[in-house]
Amino acid sequence: MLGFHEDAILLSGPAGTGLKTRILGKYYEFWWKITSGGESKRNEFPTAIVDMNAGSGELYIKELGRTLLGSAGHAMQLKFDLGYPTDALKLAFVEEDPQCFSHLQNVIRKRWPSLRLDQATGPIDRNTSGVYLFSLPLEDAVETVGLLNLGNSIYFFDPLLHVEMETIERVARSLIKYFFQRGTEFIIFVFTSDWFTGREYAWRKSLAPRPATSPRETWTGSEAETVASANSLFGDEDWQENVLNGASRNERQDAFIDEYRRRLMKWFRWVLPLPFIPKRGQLYHLVFCSNFEDGVKVTRDFYCLYTGNPRFNPDNQTAYEKFVARFPETTRGLWGFQRPIQWKILWHIIRYCEGGICDYGCKGIKEKGTREGVKAAMRWLSNEGYLRQLEGVPSAWASIPRYQLDWDKVRETLALLPPSKLKPITPEHFQRKQRRRS
């Protein structure tokens, strides 16, 4: 049941929520340290965290009997409590539910009494507090938030049900204006299993379990409604073929999140869904979308650290020896620790490009040589079978080629295995970890 415990949103399931907020907090901190220019630039670059479903800033976990910071609370903590020079970090909180919004103001009053709430909720041109509060539906807030001149920004979408692809597209289109422009990241919460099992919140109309096979004539009224909602999540009906079939629920859940990932790749180079199990039988994802390879890599590393998934740590030396034995001509004229550009690019893709997806514009690829040198090396990698054109994903810039690493070829010739599929943390694993810590 949804409700409030004092000012905190009432939730159940310690594993999912605890992890989700902790990872989010860590990620905000990491992300801000880099995008603000770091210590050497005195963190002066403008940055922003835009929380599109801010909630009240606090979450109360019934099973733990504890209040944790929610997403907005973590953003506030980064700006005000961690001792960093965060003057150039702006926070924008959007909350459509008036009750939640009023609790959010209470939480700010209680925990951050020096923040001028009259300014934070007032006209943006007279607000010097660095924090902007909008009591608006997400769709109506997009334009106003766009006026804030934000710099590098994370947009967090954490709706109760789902956010429509149309909204995601509107925000993306207004922020990502040229080919995979960096500076905007999205994190989207998707309650994946809910689409299959229905939702238990009594005050909301329950979502019907997803029909296992496609024929529309057999759907009940609420099943048809669920499908219509999912159509708005995906922005089309094409997902149905891969999801509404007779496969097991786990397989269909995987297909569901993969369909979602692919659609987001229209605007983002990399989309990484991180799985969480809040309760046995439930599954949700935090979907990280970025055009910045370091961001995605560290997100994965963070997740692995917190969940016990193995970190991806391929053996560079052995793989390089195999590469040289196979392509000795690429090392001609090199000496000592110099490496051929083909190898440097290939290694970068293996190590840093999530899912092996890449293009000429990736920062770490671009910097490996001259424009022509990089293009020639990518062509070489395609000819040798390491890269193929990426297919089956939309792109906002369809004329610019994108590539996909062929992991079979890498496995065969360099004896490297791809990163393992991320396993969601189970409640039992989380409890053991908590006990070890206390």
Ligand X SMILES: C[S@@+](CC[C@H](N)C(=O)[O-])C[C@H]1O[C@@H](n2cnc3c(N)ncnc32)[C@H](O)[C@@H]1O
Site residues for ligand X per CB under 6 A:
2-4, 9, 53-55, 59, 70-71, 95-97, 99-100, 158-160
Contacts of 386 (CB under 8 A, 6+ apart): 346, 405, 406, 409, 410
Q: Looking at beta carbons only, is 17 or 184 nearer to ligand X?
A: 17
The one-letter amino acid code at 38 reads: G
Nearest approach, Cβ of residue 308 and ligand X (Å): 23
Nearest approach, Cβ of residue 75 and ligand X (Å): 10
Distance (Å, rounded) from C-alpha 126 to C-alpha 120?
A: 9
Q: Looking at beta carbons only, is 28 or 239 nearer to ligand X?
A: 28
Contact between residue 394 and residue 365 where contact means Cβ atoms under 8 Å apart: no
Tally of CB atoms within 10 A around 349? 24
Nearest approach, Cβ of residue 13 and ligand X (Å): 12
Q: Looking at beta carbons only, is 15 or 88 nearer to ligand X?
A: 15
Nearest approach, Cβ of residue 3 and ligand X (Å): 5
DSSP per position, 20-54: HHHHHHHHHHHHHHHHTTTGGGTT-S-EEEEETT-
φ/ψ of residue 280, rounded to 5: -55, 130
Contacts of 220 (CB under 8 A, 6+ apart): 208
Contacts of 96 (CB under 8 A, 6+ apart): 53, 135, 136, 137, 138
Contacts of 274 (CB under 8 A, 6+ apart): 23, 285, 286, 287, 288, 299, 303, 422
Q: Looking at beta carbons only, is 68 or 365 nearer to ligand X?
A: 68
Nearest approach, Cβ of residue 1 and ligand X (Å): 9
Intra-chain end-to-end CA distance of the chain, in Å:
29
Q: Looking at beta carbons only, is 2 or 415 nearer to ligand X?
A: 2
Nearest approach, Cβ of residue 201 and ligand X (Å): 9
Distance (Å, rounded) from C-alpha 253 to C-alpha 194?
A: 10
Q: Looking at beta carbons only, is 10 or 422 nearer to ligand X?
A: 10
Tally of CB atoms within 10 A around 418? 15
Tally of CB atoms within 10 A around 281? 10
Nearest approach, Cβ of residue 36 and ligand X (Å): 23
DSSP per position, 225-257: HHHHHHHHHHTSSTTHHHHSSSS-HHHHHHHHH
Q: Looking at beta carbons only, is 16 or 419 nearer to ligand X?
A: 16
Nearest Cα residue to 243 out of 226, 265, 229, 259: 259
Q: Which DSSP state fits 126?
A: G
Residue in the shown chain whose Cβ atom is closest to ligand X: 70
Nearest approach, Cβ of residue 148 and ligand X (Å): 19
Q: Looking at beta carbons only, is 25 or 130 nearer to ligand X?
A: 25
- Which residues, listed in sequence order, are joined to residue 262 by a DSSP beta bridge? none
Q: Looking at beta carbons only, is 100 or 374 nearer to ligand X?
A: 100
Nearest Cα residue to 286 out of 218, 187, 411: 187
Q: Looking at beta carbons only, is 75 or 377 nearer to ligand X?
A: 75
Nearest approach, Cβ of residue 21 and ligand X (Å): 6
Q: Looking at beta carbons only, is 199 or 339 nearer to ligand X?
A: 199
Nearest approach, Cβ of residue 55 and ligand X (Å): 3
Contacts of 309 (CB under 8 A, 6+ apart): 303, 420, 422, 423
Contact between residue 36 and residue 292 where contact means Cβ atoms under 8 Å apart: no
Nearest approach, Cβ of residue 288 and ligand X (Å): 15
